[in-house]
């Protein structure tokens, strides 16, 4: 049924792309979260009293019961490392000059975990359950971005 391709040189591949880029604005809750991070250097979450759950970053609604939420809970700056991973290669598979450590951290007062880098842990092995704290850039360098947080740093306690 399917013919053999007698002249393989006739099989052509057509290079192409979908020529789109995107601009994402952070939304109602995202904007409150980022502006507070920029202006005050603190992390805002949203509390749903009915579901007894505090989301981080802040959200406009509770996905469990659909209640409207406000960005009204300050969480952290310290918390507990719930998991971590160490990346040795980049997105194209290239080796990284220095490995990156990613951490999932449950900040004090939050139920949800926040994802960011783990900093300054090279002198001791990391362990799940370790106390860490948020390191925020100096006020003058913050722009209203998740990168206004430099990462998490282990602390005593």
Partner 1 sequence: MGAGMTRFMRRAQETGKELAWEASRAALESCELTLDAVDAVCLTSAPDAFDGVHMKGEYLSDGAGAFGRPFIRTYVGGGSGVFTAIQGWYTVASGMADVVLVVAEEKMSSTQPHPQAAFLTIFDNVLERPLGPNLLWIFALEMNRYMSAYGLDKRDIAAVAVKNKRNAADHPAALLGRSDITVEDVLASETLAWPVQRLDVSPVSDGAVALVLASEEAAERITDRPVWIQGVGWNLDTAYWTNRDLVFPEYVRNAARAAYAMAGVTEPRKQIHIAEPYDPFDYKELHHLEGLMLFDPGTAPEAARDGVLNRDGDLPSCPSGGLLGVGNPIAAAGLMKVAELFWQLRGEAGARQVPGSPERGVAQAWGDLMQVGTVVVLGNEGGPPTTATRLPDSPTPPASTPGHPLTEAEFRGATGAVEDAVDARYAWDAGVAISRFLGGLREGRILGRECRGCERVLVPPRMFCERCFRGTDAWVEVEPTGVVQTFSICHVSWDMKPLETPEIPAVIAIDGSSGGFLHVLGEVDPQEVRVGMAVEAVWKPVAERTGSILDIAYFRPVRGGAP
Contacting residues toward partner 1, per CB under 8 A: 1-3, 5, 7, 10-31, 34-35, 38, 60-61, 63-66, 68, 144-145
Q: Which is nearer to partner 1, 12 or 98 (CB)?
A: 12
* Nearest distance from C-beta of residue 21 to partner 1, angstroms: 4
* Nearest distance from C-beta of residue 122 to partner 1, angstroms: 30
Q: Give the helix/strand (H/E) hosting 30.
A: helix 27-40
Peptide bond into 127 cis (omega under 30): no
Q: Which is nearer to partner 1, 39 or 127 (CB)?
A: 39
Q: Which of 19, 42, 23 is nearest to 32 (CA)?
A: 42
Q: Which two tokens stand for residue 55?
A: 């989301």
Q: Which is nearer to partner 1, 41 or 144 (CB)?
A: 144
* Nearest distance from C-beta of residue 7 to partner 1, angstroms: 7
Q: How far is CA 74 from CA 31, 37, 108, in A?
A: 15, 10, 9
């Amino acid at each position: 049924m399917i013919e053999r391709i007698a002249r393989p040189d006739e099989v052509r591949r057509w290079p192409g792309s979908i020529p789109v880029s995107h601009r994402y604005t952070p939304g109602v809750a995202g904007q409150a979260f980022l502006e507070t991070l920029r202006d005050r250097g603190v992390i805002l979450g949203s509390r749903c009293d009915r579901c007894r759950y505090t989301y981080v970053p802040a959200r406009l609604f509770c996905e469990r019961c659909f209640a409207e939420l406000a960005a009204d809970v300050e969480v952290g700056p310290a918390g507990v490392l719930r998991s971590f991973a160490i990346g040795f290669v980049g997105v194209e598979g290239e080796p990284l000059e220095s490995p990156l450590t990613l951490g999932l951290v449950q900040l004090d007062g939050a139920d949800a975990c926040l994802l960011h880098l783990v900093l300054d842990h090279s002198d001791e092995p990391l362990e799940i359950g370790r106390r860490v704290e948020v390191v925020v850039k100096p006020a003058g360098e913050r722009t209203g971005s998740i990168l206004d947080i430099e990462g998490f740093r282990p602390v005593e306690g």
